[in-house]
A and B are shown apart, each in its own frame.
Chain A
Amino acid sequence: MASLQKLSRDFLSAFDEKKYDNAAEIIPKLKLEFAKEGILSPTPKFDPDDLLAARQLMEMAVLVSIFANRTQDEVERLISEVQPFYSPNLGLPKSDNENKILGLYLLLALTNNRISEFHSALENIDNPEDDKYLNYPVLLERWLMEGAYDKAWKAITDTNQFPSKEFMILMKSSSDNLEATVRNEIALCLEKAYTSLPVHSAKYLLYLKSDADLQTFVAERAERGWQLQAQSLLFKTEVEKRIAEEDEEISVENNEEYLINSVLNYAAKVDVIV
């Protein structure tokens, strides 16, 4: 227990001095000590004070790992380790950080496009609209689903809109971050909805800064039928593809054999009944 106390003191002082890297170093050791005590799978048999202390340290560990720019996987693992502490059968008072941690978890689920996980987590939450940490991922998801990409884009790029610094750092941390996801979604919509777009509008709609960016973006999608011609972006093949698909369907439709087969089948069955 002595080493645990020392570790947590070191951890807290590193946190206060904002030496996040140092603090992050301590996390694995701290978790090891917790694991020895068995408190990582909390049950009501533990002393409430111990549980509270452990919960607080684990919460801070999540925040530290975000500040120290650890990978999303690591942050997520830590979050999943804090969550058992929020279980109502422990009878602990509600933590101030609970909503923030949950909000971060929702954001991670959203970033990695695990929508069903996002919604499962949301089922647990009573009024997400009333909390700024929870409201952020909820609104973001709503905008993405509705297709209000302009609002979503603003929310993930405008620093003022983040409910706290952790959200921003987490958002920027991964390589396939939300910006890329949103842009990709927009691209998928564009190719279905337009036959052609002027270059400047395409740039504007896709939130790309320069012509060069647009060129690389289009080049990546060349096999999907994107091409730049003169001053406009063409999605022509999309329409052609659709027509081709319809033609194919028609040829299947004329499959008389299918019709004969099923009618014979019905006849046989009716025969059995009569």
Chain B
Amino acid sequence: MSSDLPPPSTNLPEDEGLPRRSFLRFAGYTAFGWIATATGLTLLESPINTLFEPINQRVEAMIFNPQRLIPEFPLTAIEPDKLIVNSFRLTPILDPITFRLEITGAVANPVSLSLQEIQRFPKVSMVIRHVCVEGWAAIVQWGGVRLADLLQLAQLKPTARYVYFESADGYFGSWDLASATHPQTLLAYEKNGSPLPVENGAPLRLASPLKLGYKQSKWVTRIVITEDFLRAQNNQLMKGYWEDLGYEWYAGL
């Protein structure tokens, strides 16, 4: 290693070993500085999000074109083994016979639909990439109804801005209206050509190429249209389970 090092520079004749020693010292400072800075800045993860998330969200909404269809994949591209089941609490078993989906809130015509009624809407099949916030992705086929079709039935009020999804396990999330009414945002009852398995959200779940996986609620039983974000009794914003813990709300892909 020492043979790689430069000869001592002429302007420091009194200190022959300086280059190597200073280099090692520099490496030591770097390692210490790295750990100290990373630890310190970790404490600022929440303020840095408060500062930058509005900017990121504006850019995300700007590059999202509600008219553009996200390119889909051929059926042969499906990766059945790659879709990992993530659940925050438990797996609710819902009876498909008694199941109702309620659509309420800022709508002119609140509805409550059975699975049979939902399945009478035109069925849409799409093969898309499902991307998890953790970093993995899977190409999945989803079959179901366009959320936009159901919302049209409920007749959104002009003031409608957000769409809340409530799940049977207590999970909840909210979407911007433009993403929720995109033609590739489905309420799915089919996965990879078979009826939707319970662990993937049966009888009805959100499926869309537009958002990260944690936005795609499973076991959806109630949709609430709002004009603003909901607040808890202590006035805390309620944007969604993971969102309220600190994850991004828009989470666009």
Pairing of A with B: no
